[in-house]
Amino acid sequence: MPEKKIYMLPNLATPNRPVVFDEMVCNGCNRCVEMCPMDILMPNAEKGKPPILLYPDECWYGACCVAECPKRFEGAIRMVHPIMQKVRWKRKDTGEHYRVGMNKPPPPNTRPPIGGWAPRSKR
């Protein structure tokens, strides 16, 4: 018989983890729990610990939990989008990959397209 009662456990049936907490930075203020419109987060029974991710598959990836966190810039919470939601582009001529928000994006392509800038109807 366990000494402590367990009231909530994270849903381990899915590999989905939309929100990741850094336990060393998160102070357990639970502002993210209050802001989540889908109620996927539940307060941790231990004071000062990060919330429990109870229903990860229900997340809408709106990131209001991240926006409300007072320690978000210190890395207390971060949103992890699924691979299918991570948009990236590839330049045909150079083959380089880039995405919005990357640290050092390549310079914009300023060369005119083949055939010029004029609309197709006026060529």
Domain boundaries, the chain: 19-84
Q: Which helix (H) or strand (E) holds 4?
A: none
pLDDT, position 100: 66
Averaged over 35-41, what is the pLDDT? 92
pLDDT, position 8: 66
- Which residues fall within 8 angstroms of residue 74, CB to CB, at 6 or more apart? 25
pLDDT for 2-18, tens place per residue? 677 766 666 665 677 89
pLDDT for 80-118, tens place per residue? 888 777 777 777 878 877 776 667 777 777 777 777 777
For residues 113 and 109, give the distance between their C-alpha atoms in angstroms, rounded to a whole number: 10
pLDDT for 49-64, tens place per residue? 999 988 888 999 989 9
Q: Which CATH architecture has domain 19-84?
A: 2-Layer Sandwich (3.30)
